[in-house]
Chain A
Amino acid sequence: QTVVTQEPSLTVSPGGTVTLTCASSTGAVTSSYYPNWFQQKPGQAPRALIYSTSNKHSWTPARFSGSLLGAKAALTLSGVQPEDEAEYYCLLYYGGAWVFGGGTKLTVL
């Protein structure tokens, strides 16, 4: 059973920078896992932010960026806004199947 692990919760101050990570139980996350990142606010459907490690959708704010950080996929928010408070999920590809991480609850305080 493949497990994708994210920080359960993180807190950041408005205007600050925060990095969320996504690890795989199978080993180092590489670009071959095509990491995706999603944002979900309470009562709303998830919104796609990043695909294939670092590519942004047309609607993704510039302050969001994706990368590989050591053995993990990472989502960095620079200049955090109050409206960035949400749950963030990563999604990794395992040769035909995809697995979501458990999500990170980001609090802006």
Chain B
Amino acid sequence: QVQLQESGPGLVKPSQTLSLTCTVSGGSISSNSYYWSWIRQPAGKGLEWIGLIYNSGSTRYNPSFRSRITMSIDTSKNQFSLNLSSVTAADTAVYYCAGDAGYWGQGTLVTVSS
């Protein structure tokens, strides 16, 4: 059974870079999904698609984040990552990783505060 687990700091200071990693277990990251996504959800609000990365390393980003976002994938570690720079309080949210095969992580709360 494929499982996804987000990891990273729960607290990030304003203007710094938010860095999260999603570890895929229960199978190879290269065979379980064609692409992998990051989604976030501020408290009490809806879901927001952040971007995706294909197993090839190609990326597609939400235009709202394009200047601040970088995604990468490490197939040898079965992991993919998100970097979001110049964060503000508006970036405070639960961040989810997911695969196009329908698997989601449990989510990790990231708070932006000094």
Q: Which of B49, B60, B102, B104 contacts A100 (CB 8 A)?
A: B49
Q: Are A97 and B107 in contact (CB under 8 A)?
A: no
Q: Which residue of B lies closest to A102 (CB)?
A: B46
Interface residues of B in 51-100 (CB under 8 A from A): 52, 60-63, 96, 98, 100
Provide the residues of chain A in CB contact with B105, threshold 8 Å.
45
Contact partner of A51 (CB less than 8 A), chosen from B46, B102, B104, B106, is B102
Chain A minimum-CB-distance residue to B106? A45
B: contact size bracket = 20 to 34
A100 contacts B48, C-beta separation under 8 Å? yes
Contact residue range for chain A?
Answer: 10 to 19
Which of B46, B48, B107 is within 8 Å of A45, CB to CB? B107
Cα distance A98–B49 when bound, in Å?
A: 6
CB within 8 Å of B: which residues of A?
Answer: 38, 40, 45-48, 51, 57, 59, 89, 91, 96-103
Q: A51-B100, A91-B47, A101-B46 are in contact. List 19 more A-B contacts (CB 8 A).
A: A38-B47, A45-B105, A45-B107, A46-B96, A46-B104, A47-B104, A48-B102, A57-B102, A59-B102, A89-B46, A89-B47, A91-B49, A97-B60, A97-B61, A98-B49, A98-B52, A100-B39, A100-B49, A102-B46
